Amino acid sequence: MEFFGKIVISGLVNGAIYGLVAIGFVLIYKASSVLNFSQGYMLLLGAYIFWVFKASLKLDLLFSLLITIPLGFLMGILIERLTLRPLIGQPLVSIITVTIFLSLVIEGLVSIIWGTYPLQQMSPFFRGSLRVGKINLTSGTLFAFGLALGAMFALIFLFRYTRLGLAMRGVAEGHQIMQSMGISVKRILTICWGIAGVAATLGGILLGSTLGFQLGLSYIGLLAIPAAFIGGLDSPEGAIVGGLLIGLIESIASGYFGKASGVPTSYVILIVVMLFRPYGLFGLRGIERI
């Protein structure tokens, strides 16, 4: 029983982070139909920026977070302005390719500024832990989980209950319609990318504090993709559920079957699920017209 409990916790914590990254994917896809291949690298950049404030300048945790999050927003906006804006109206595949090249550029920038060697760690966030039955939850774990869930619920709240969220959902439906209703599509797109940047940064902060601040952090971008898809590429709630689900599947597979079978298993299950629900669990069915 203890084993199963550990597997579930492990899966949920991983899954929360996947969910956070997946939301970034979904946001961008929903608003501009672009699959952002550089999401993992935005995560990396966000993590490194946080490191600068917390470990290098040795600022206080709360303060570092307060500075880094707006910077993450800025990062998203900058990326949108510099690379995607000039490509509005171009074939989708080209835009996706630009995101691929963007990953290279970000990786290069990170290498130039901080070098390619893993960064010096920083002191752990909190000490202490909480016991639930036989299972020990460190405060680090709780913090990660709490932060991820909190961020996700904040985003869902934004989408469902605010005017901005309504505008974003509208832009996802169709740019022209929104323009004729007087909503600045450009502004909404920018905000979407900004929020995706924040999501990536948060994910990066969490991952960096567990895995260490090194270039391998961008790999998570890859692992979060099934999470984004299984929930449906155009559903933020789906991204959360998808993330947690994928985290659990991976943990169970790796735990019980071993041989690190988690990731391939999650893909197999993903493909099977999609055969029955081709648009993901919560995705909207695309209407096909000639």
Partner 1 sequence: MGRKGVLFVCLMVAMASYTSVSWAQKPVTEVVVGNISAMTGPTSGTHMMCLSGSKDYLYYLNEKMGGITGKKGKVSVKYVGYDSQYVATKAKDGFSRLEGQGMIVTTHCASGHSDALMVDYEAAKIPLVTGSLGIASAWSDWSYGNCHAGVVNLIRSWIVWLKKDWEKAGKPGGVLTLGSIATDEPWAPLGLWEIDSFVKEQGIKLVMETIPKGTTDASPQLLRLKEGGAKGIFVLASAPGAVVVLNSAKAMGLNIPLTQSAGAYVGDVIALGGPELAEGYQGEYFFEPMSKNPKLEASPGLKLTRELWAKNHPGQSPSDMYIVGILSGMVIAEGIRIALDEVPPEKLTGEALKTYGLDRIRNFDAMGLTKPISYVPGDHIGQKQVRYWVARKGFVEPISDWMPTTTYRIPKK
Partner 2 sequence: MRIIKTKAQWVMSILSLVLLFAIPQIPSLNNPYFLRLLIGVGIAVTICLGLNILTGYCGQLNIGQSAFVMVGAFTSALLNYRLGWSFWVCVIPAGLASALVGAIFGIPSVRLRGLYLTLTTLGAQIILTWIALFYIPLTTAGFSVEPVRVGGIVFNTPHKFYYIAMLFTVVMTLFAKNMMRGGVGRAFVAIRDNEKAAEAMGIDIFRYKLLAFVICTFYAGVAGSLLVHYMMWAHLESFTIQDSIWYVVMIIVGGLGSIEGTIFGVLFITALKELIFVVGPIVEGKLVFLPMGAGSGLLLVIIGGVAITFLMFEPRGLAHRWTLFKAYYRLWPFGY
Tally of CA atoms within 13 A in the half-sphere of 233 that contains its CB: 17
What is residue 86's DSSP assignment?
A: G
DSSP H or E run through 132: strand 129-132
Dist. CA 73–CA 77, nearest whole Å:
6
**Closest separation between CB of residue 199 and partner 2, Å?**
19
What's the token pair of residue 109?
């920038």
111 binds partner 1 (CB under 8 A): yes
Q: 3-class SS at 288?
A: coil
* Angle formed at CA 172 by CA 40 and CA 160, multiple of 5 degrees: 90
Site size for partner 2, by CB under 8 A? 52
Q: How far is the CB of 189 from partner 1 (least distance, A)?
A: 30
- Rounded to whole angstroms, what are the CA distances from 250 to 89, 104, 271, 276? 38, 28, 15, 21
User: Stretches 44-52, 149-157, 203-211, 224-232: which one binds partner 2 (CB under 8 A)?
Assistant: 224-232
Region near partner 2 per CB under 8 A, out of 46-54, 111-119, 189-197, 242-250 = 111-119
10 Å CB burial of residue 134 (0-12, 13-18, 19+) is: exposed
Q: Say which entry of partner 2, partner 1, none residue 9 contacts (CB below 5 to 8 A, set by partner kind).
A: partner 1
Three-state helix/strand/coil letters over 9-20: HHHHHHHHHHHH
Rule CB under 8 A: is residue 211 a binding residue for partner 2?
no
Q: What is the binding site for partner 2 (CB under 8 A)?
A: 35, 37, 83, 86-87, 90-91, 93-94, 96-98, 100-105, 107-117, 222, 225-226, 229, 233, 259-261, 263-264, 267-268, 270-271, 274-275, 278-280, 286, 288-290
Q: What is the binding site for partner 1 (CB under 8 A)?
A: 2-3, 6-7, 9-10, 13-14, 17, 107, 111, 115-124, 129, 136-138, 140-141, 144, 207, 210-216, 218-220, 222-223, 250-251, 254-255, 258-260, 262-263
